[in-house]
Each structure stands twice: as structure tokens, then as C-alpha cells.
Amino acid sequence: MNEALKDLGAYVGEKLAGRIQDAQIAYGELTLSVEPGDIIEVLTFLRDDIQCQFFAFIDISGVDYPEREKRFEVVYHLLSPRRNQRVRVKVSTDEEMPLPSANAVFPAANWYEREIYDLYGVLFTDHPDLRRILTDYGFEGHPLRKDFPLTGFVEVRYDDETKRVVYEPVNLRQEFRTFDFLSPWEGTEYVLPGDEKAGSAKSE
């Protein structure tokens, strides 16, 4: 399998000279890294070339690396029934630089790109309907970014007095608890409420 993937990577690299920045084999699939300006040409080639025929569009996923200058990776997953192989294509971008929409090449990319925009804030040019798809109306922020708080910013509840759904700032009912992760046999370094009675009984 690896030999076939190596041959495929060499073939794509030869045909798309200068368009493929890196080609690696990971987890039984070929991974191609390309620049944002080349993504449409690469996807079109993988779909149409007779030796590739990756015309089954599987998914687009996003990854957030806040420590990088280009913090987001957008990963396209394709399947070739002819070759019985998968390929992933990676593109890196930041919060401001949009990516070309793959909707013209793979119409199935429409909702996937909306999801990436909704959850990560990555923009896509020439998308026919780039708007949120999973979060609620008026939602602020992008919940799959690493710097988005786990609690979110607002909470939703039904108010029985006004007979409607209301949005309120998050109000934590208790402070976040800290855990020492010690085993029960080692015991804790602090005394839980009520444990002081057990200690006094032993001393007697």
C-alpha cells in the first residue's frame, strides 16, 4: 500500500510541479500540503485526472494551532473508488486570509465550508451562501477555536414568566474545582467537610 501511495505522490508532484509544497504518507493515506492559491487547481486535478479520479468528496475538517502564525489548517478528504485510496489535502490560513471555495469543484463542499466558517471563523471566497450552520442566531465567536472558553459567553433558558427563551451571560454556580488525581489509597492533602470527625474518633 505504501508503495502505491509513494507512486501516487510522485505522480501528483510531477504533474503539479510547484503546486505541492509537501507530500507525506500518514495513517495509511497520502497527505498533500498546498498553498491557498493552488487549492482549486489541485482539487480539480485530483478529481479529473485519469490516474487519480478522486471524485468522491468525503469531508472538510478544521484544526486550530494558536501558536502558529497561520493558526488554522483546513483539510480536504477525498476518495478514489477507482484506486481504492484516500488522499487528504491540507491548506494553512489565518483569521483574516480567506480560502477559495471548493464549491465549484465539489458541490458537496457547501455545507462543510459553512461549518468550518461557523466553528473556526475561516472565510471562503466565492461561496454561494457563507453563513453559520450549527450555532444559534446571533452567536458570538467560534466555538472550536482553542481560545474559546469551555463555558461559552451566554446561556439559554426558557423564562416561564415572560413565556419565551432568554439569553443571559454565563453565570457559574460554583468555582471550577481542582483535582489532585491521587489514588484513594494515597489519600488527599486536604480535609473534606465531615472528615475531621473521623480523625478525631481515631485519636480517642
Give per-residue pLDDT as tens, 184-203: 666 666 666 666 666 555 55
73-130 residue pLDDT tens: 999 999 999 888 999 999 999 999 999 999 999 999 999 999 999 999 999 999 999 9
- pLDDT for position 180: 57
Judge whether residue 27 has pLDDT over 80. Answer: yes
Q: What is the Cα 54 distance to its own chain's centre?
A: 22
CA 57 to CA 108: how far, in whole Å? 7
